[in-house]
Structure 1
């Protein structure tokens, strides 16, 4: 007889449908031993009201997780592996590998758990059997189920159909007996919890394993013809029917037997049932069906985990048998774990931790769905329309709460094991073989943070080196990229740029090759930067556009890094020394700091060979913007290897008369800006002095200027007299002045706050002036009315002339006061408008709050 061929190729398309592949294994696991042997105890100990609450709370977890499960299953082309596949493809290989391994172990141990339950049910028919007999019967059950698991999903499905027939017969028998024995008065008496009853959460822990089987169908995902359709439909059918069954059975229990009888007799279902034999058959069928579902699920999780090559030791288990794609090696390992667990006879020690693994998997499945939805990725388009991210988050929180309520110690042990595997994979796992949601999450976070950063005003304390590095010279590219990563100091962003001159298809092809070479150089060096390669007919024009357009939002380049113009090496494509300096001037005029690296092979090798503890960075200080930039870049270098043990020396020119006083002043300045450095006073900045002082340094920062199209040192002379005799050096020219000791209350934010305060004060003054003007106007109108009345009376000769004259004078004074008040109100309003314009000018793009009284 020929053996079936083995293959590690992806399994063929499954043949199982919704009913056989998802609904049947799920419903058979849910309607298990808890239903037949423990539900009566839970209802009797808790009372019907609390019992229904326990059932509802436990099924809330299953419903919420089913919603998340359906969303992910309809958003991916689900392959084999069930929960492991869904979680790993969303949260990444570390979480996926952790949960996959522990779920495989949990399912394998569950085979033994359910088989021992079967053995105890069988042993009850034969009183007096020794304890060893239970283990032997359980081992026999595992061997019996192994035959079906070895043959594959089709054989297991046939077995499960037979088991389902027994379960249906058992439930029908119970419902008939329960309806016959219905007692409404007893139902009302059983509603409340009995005195000195069992604590609520202990009963919840006893019942909760009843709802842990709704993902058994998901474990068969690799054998399904249409997982995206079958998983949601089959899971919700199983969960919905099981909810109805559990609620109905609980009510019938309370209407047929008193709470005391239910809580003291695990065989209460048999007593209520019309035919007790069917309940015994149902118990046996329930335990075997649950064990069979675990026997089918565990090897498929292992096979999917092995196929992903996360754990190299598991690689042999990626093999499947054709044509059924049955993971027989995994079946063998699961059977071995089940036999070992039965032989140990300490199942209770691990049973609670196993339950926690299932609960963790449900929690992670909910979180993975919420995580995927929160990324706002355009690729997240689940066909399941009743999905809602808050529901997934709620499911995650309830799962965590249930773990703490059921057994904090077991929950902590399960989480610790999961975390240990996660950390192991984080350190040892290679690159993932699939795309998870982590990158979408990072991109969404980048979007949110960039928008938030763009709303806040800039401050000197926020300055970071945003580098634009021109890498045209391939021979010196490695050194330039390495130097750029040093001065970036782990705080900014770096974009490495390559310009390819020309136009047409050949140039576009050359650009692709140049980009690949640049990207490979970055990867080889492990540099935290991004490559950018562009084609242009004019390199200078392209460079100007890049300087203006690179970056996004508040992340714009503020510093350009290039190589020194050597005899044969060219930092920019096709430039002469004249055009090189012209390009540098263009960069500077665009407001970008200039940093030029000068090195040769010999000096660079000396830097690389210098011991970390003996390295020294010299900064030639003139007390200006360039000096502050150089000092900060030197400090950033010391934040990272290989410069973290280096010393910084700041050299500045003194007059030779007060060396100690000048050194003290420089040391105080260094202390104020919180940068550790040694102060050194030199006679001058002459080339010979620079070489004499810094020839023994490891790295040197020097200020530069551009004069008459030449790069000159602080003395106005060419660098040719100093740089060739120095170690690796960087010449720097700052286009912006950095405040290295900026206080939080200074800067644009403080200006905006001050202007806002002035605006508020101006508005209050304007409102007060308007109020006074209104009062004066009201007084004037009142006096005018009184005067009009007097004048009417004066016509009849009743009012004396002197009274009318006094009132007229008072009216005129009020008119003058009202006019002055009106002018003051107008001036106050103008000042408020000016203050508002000041605030608007300080916060471009932001609208200041408008005065409700204006316009």
Structure 2
């Protein structure tokens, strides 16, 4: 993992704000585009539009820098820059997609800067133009060697390059002021676009010039104090380079006509008082930008590889030496840059990099936006100048400009990142770090619960919120499995268990049973929540669970429990039923002959027996109708069970026993009316018989997959009588659920 302490740099080799953030950011921003293409941007766009382009680009990068600063000051930033920050906020899928995208963007940027260097060299020494490919390859190799040696040496080289760049800019300003021409100013205020060009194509050409704001963040693993250095150094670089570009836009338009600005890529050199300083500046800026990207890209890949999102990339996670240099990743960066050098050119590469950086910036803003609006208690950035509004505007700006520049490229880029996101999600990679997805879900749930609490409850909105007294899951697997089928896609299921004894003495056992339930839920892939209570008596535990489990409108309205296996437990079962009824919960008692345990608390049930209960039995779902009191709930449960894909072949039958033919027509008509108003399809069967009802039920439903029978809560002292009467009704039917409805639902809705 990227967070391993053994991979951290020693304090003596880490960098501060100026060397580790401001310098690489400034040198990357004031690079090849400024020297070789900004004149074209000003010439075609005109001074006014060029200033707007600079301001728009700087606004987006400033908003993104605010977001970057907030996240960077909220967490311990390790190697990987934007990848690390986004993955730890938006999760492994977005983080993985950004890891691939941002590494590619940085690696391709190396090629862009080297091509720019070669172009400047060829303009200065025309005889070298025929060897451009060889020169670019040589420069790529030199850049690779510098970075391969180590970041410390490269940072020192950048101090020297920064001094050359400052001298070059001074030479340009002196020459531009001396060549000030009011006529050029007047004519260059308005655009002079070439055919096929417009403001957005110029923006696309210019925007890579301001993407260097991540150069410091990419060095996050090499900084002594990332949470302070990244905000200070990046914002300082944004302000300084913003002043440079705005002043250049004005001075270029005042010093040369539009035709020369457009046609001469080295116009800045021609304006300067000391042209050789510009040449040195171009060489220095392009090489420093290439060095910055060559340093940043491998560190992104190294952090990405260490997170093992793609195990095939694990090879690139290794570091070398005390400073943990990502040398394997540096070799791959060199190879990608070389491929782009062979096949690319500056104008073709710039828009691609623009799209990649825009997506990265957009998702960074999205991460900060979500961190803020979800009010995650862990989101406590020391940087106080970021707000969810600035993050939202930054995100909208990034994605909006993408489509304004080139809708096709924007769509392809988003589809590409979407495909990576889907691929990682399909692999079900488990993040080994916290992210804000749980915070987003929590905030949505919180608001939904509060809104649900304010809504006026109506019986038509009834859903099964079932608490299943399931033991540890393995002891009575038919109960959680049928609970899952009854609630799947429609309600909420909790698997509950009561540990008897004092909480202080049984806390370890309570935790053990909760782990067992979680294990059962995960293994059987049941949509459920565990609920374990500790109480001196089982009845007290059940009472606590029923009263306290759940929150707001999501409290259990139905309790599913097992039917007692013999008469000796009838009294305690009846007492439990009365207790549940007093809390106004519906009761479902599952009587399955195939699972009458010798000991209800045993855990000897095997995986094989659990699998057997997942097998849907053949036959109809039979509802024995005796009126609306229990009938509504029984019919609704049969319908919900039938809605499961596994149960679609099991049709629902509503059955009634009468003693004479005259009542049959009236009952059928009544049930047809119920079916129409309830919009539930079922078959009505009226059995005419003067035989005892239990005998009729046994004969009619002997091949049913499940039988639903209604019952009433017994009065005190009537527990045994209730047990005998229901046992008589159920007889040898293999699967019966007894239903005592507490109401709260309606079929006619």
TM-score category by the smaller chain? over 0.9
Candidates 672, 678, 683, aligned match of 2:677: 672
TM-score, normalization: structure 2? 0.92
1:587 maps to which residue? 580
Residue in structure 1 matched with residue 95 of structure 2 by the alignment: 96
Q: Please say if residues 204 and 350 of structure 2, whose CA atoms lie closer than 8 Å, have aligned partners that are also in contact.
A: no
Distance 1:606 1:383 in 2: 53
- Give the CA deviation at 1:605: 6.0
> Which residue of 716, 725, 738 corresponds with 2:745?
738
Change (3 A) 1:613 1:106: farther
> Per-residue displacement from partner, 1:750-794 (whole Å, max 9, x unpaired)?
xxxxxxxxxxxxxxxxxxxxxxxxxxxxxxxxxxxxxxxxxxxxx
The C-alpha deviation readout for 1:584-643, integer Å capped at 9, x for no partner, is 012112211000111244699699489769453211122313111011112112233432
Q: Look up the match of 1:107.
A: 106
1:380 alignment counterpart: 379
| CA deviations over 1:15-38 (Å, ceiling 9, x no partner) | 111111111111111001111122
Give the secondary-structure state (helix, strand or coil) at the position aligned to 2:477: helix
Partner Cα distance (2:406, 2:693) in 1: 77
The aligned residue for residue 640 of structure 1 is 644
Once the two structures are TM-superposed, the CA of residue 710 in structure 1 deviates from its matched residue by 4.5
Does the 8 Å CA contact 2:474/2:520 hold for their aligned counterparts?
no
Task: Name the residue aligned to 1:148.
Answer: 146
Query: 5+ unaligned residues in a row in structure 1: which ranges?
Result: 1-6, 569-574, 743-855
* Correspondence 1:36-55 to 2 at 5 A: 36-55=35-54
The question of 1:598 aligning with 2:603 is answered: no
Query: What secondary structure sits across from 2:713 in the alignment?
Result: strand
Give 1:520's aligned residue.
Answer: 519
**Alpha-carbon deviation of 1:720?**
2.3
Mapped contact 2:172–2:271 kept (Cα < 8 A): yes
Which moves more between the two structures, 547-556 or 58-67? 547-556
Per-residue displacement from partner, 1:518-571 (whole Å, max 9, x unpaired)? 222222222222112122223323322332232222222111111111149xxx
Q: Deviations over 1:415-470 (max 9, x none)?
A: 11000000001110321111100111111111111111111111122111111222
**Residue 29 and residue 533 in structure 1: after superposition, are their counterparts in 2 closer, same or farther (change >3 A)?**
same
| 1:624 corresponding residue in structure 2 | 628
* Kept after mapping to 2: 8 A contact 1:705/1:712: no
Alpha-carbon offset, residue 266 of structure 1: 2.1
Q: Is the 8 A contact 1:117 1:287 kept in 2?
A: yes
2:542: which partner in 1? 543
* TM-superposed deviation, 1:580: 1.8
SS at match of 1:213: helix
How much does 1:126 deviate? 3.8
> CA 1:126–1:71 in 2, change beyond 3 Å: closer, same or farther?
same
CA contact 1:209–1:355 (8 Å) conserved in 2: yes
Q: Which residue does the alignment assign to 2:452?
A: 453
Equivalent residue for 1:332? 331
CA displacement 1:315-356 (0-9 Å, x = unmatched): 111111120111111111111212222233477655422320
| Separation of aligned partners in 1, 2:263 and 2:222 | 43
Alignment of 1:240-255 (within 5 A): 240-255=239-254
Q: Secondary structure at the match of 1:320?
A: coil
Q: Does 1:682 align with 2:675?
A: no
Give the structure 2 partner of residue 173 of structure 1.
171
Distance 1:122 1:670 in 2: 85
- Return closer, same or farther for 1:196/1:206 CA change in 2, 3 Å cut-off: closer
Deviations 1:137-174 (A, max 9, x none): 11111110111111121122122222222211211111
Q: What is the CA distance between 1:8 and its match in structure 2?
A: 10
Q: Once the 2 structures are TM-superposed, how far is the Cα of residue 130 of structure 1 from its aligned partner?
A: 6.4
1:208 aligns with 2:201: no
Number of the residue aligned with 1:848: none
Of the structure 1 ranges 236-245 and 462-471, higher mean CA displacement relative to structure 2 is found in 462-471
> What is the aligned partner in structure 2 of residue 4 from structure 1?
none
Note the alpha carbon deviations across 1:50-93, whole angstroms, 9 max, x for none.
Answer: 21111111100010000000000011111111111111111100
User: What CA distance in whole angstroms lies between the structure 2 residues aligned with 1:158 and 1:296?
Assistant: 13
User: What's the CA shift for 1:682?
Assistant: 1.8
**Structure 1 segment 192-271 matched on structure 2, within 5 A:** 192-194=190-192, 198-271=197-270
501-510 vs 133-142, which deviates more? 501-510
1:182 deviates by 2.9
Q: Is the 8 A contact 2:120 2:266 kept in 1?
A: no
2:440 pairs with 1:441? yes
Q: Deviations over 1:268-287 (max 9, x none)?
A: 21121001111112112222
Q: Work out whether residues 704 and 713 of structure 1, in 8 Å CA contact, stay in contact via their aligned partners in 2.
A: no
Q: Is 1:272 the counterpart of 2:271 in the alignment? A: yes
Equivalence for 1:758? none
CA contact (8 A) 1:704 1:712 kept: no
Deviation at 1:185, TM superposition (A): 5.7
**1:13·1:225 contact (CA, 8 Å) conserved in 2?**
no
Q: Is 1:705 paired with 2:712?
A: yes
Distance 1:331 1:200 in 2: 36
Q: 1:227: how far off?
A: 0.6
Deviation at 1:576, TM superposition (A): 4.3
SS at match of 2:489: coil
When residues 262 and 613 of structure 1 are mapped into structure 2, their CA distance, relative to the original with a 3 A threshold, is: farther
Contact 1:704–1:711 (Cα < 8 Å) also in 2: no
In structure 2, distance between residues paired with 1:127 and 1:388: 52
Which residue is 1:649 aligned to? 653
Q: 1:252 to 1:606 in 2, by over 3 A?
A: closer
Aligned length in residues: 728
Report the aligned-residue RMSD. 2.5
Q: Deviations over 1:344-399 (max 9, x none)?
A: 34776554223201110001101110011111111111100111110100000011
Structure 1 residues 349 and 724: alpha-carbon distance in aligned structure 2, compared to 1, 3 A threshold: farther
2 CA distance for matches of 1:262 and 1:584?
89
The CA deviation string for residues 649-702 of structure 1, in whole angstroms up to 9 with x for no partner, is: 221223441445633442342232111222211236722211111121112211
Please give the secondary structure, in 2, of the residue aligned with 1:384. coil
Map 1:280-359 to 2 at 5 A: 280-345=279-344, 351-359=350-358
Deviations 1:726-761 (A, max 9, x none): 12221111011521122xxxxxxxxxxxxxxxxxxx
Partner SS, residue 62 of structure 2? helix
Say if 1:118 and 1:503 are closer, same or farther in 2 by CA, change over 3 A: same
Aligned to 2:600: none
1:11 aligns with 2:8: yes
Distance 2:149 2:367 in 1: 34
1:172-191 → structure 2 map (5 Å cutoff): 172-184=170-182, 186-191=184-189
Secondary structure class of the residue paired with 1:20 = helix
Flag the structure with more relative contact order, 1 or 2, with Cα contacts below 8 A and sequence separation at least 6.
2
- CA distance in 2 between counterparts of 1:195 and 1:426 reads 45
Larger deviation, residues 489-498 vs 414-423:
489-498
Q: Does the 8 Å contact 1:81/1:221 carry over to 2?
A: yes
- Distance 1:520-1:610 versus aligned 2 partners, 3 A rule: closer
Does the 8 A contact of 1:615 with 1:643 survive in 2? no
Provide the secondary structure at the position in 2 that maps to 1:124.
Answer: helix
When normalised by structure 1's length, the TM-score is 0.81
Query: Max radius of gyration: which structure?
Result: 1
Q: Is 1:396–2:395 an aligned residue pair?
A: yes
Cα distance in 1, alignment partners of residues 610 and 91 from structure 2: 43
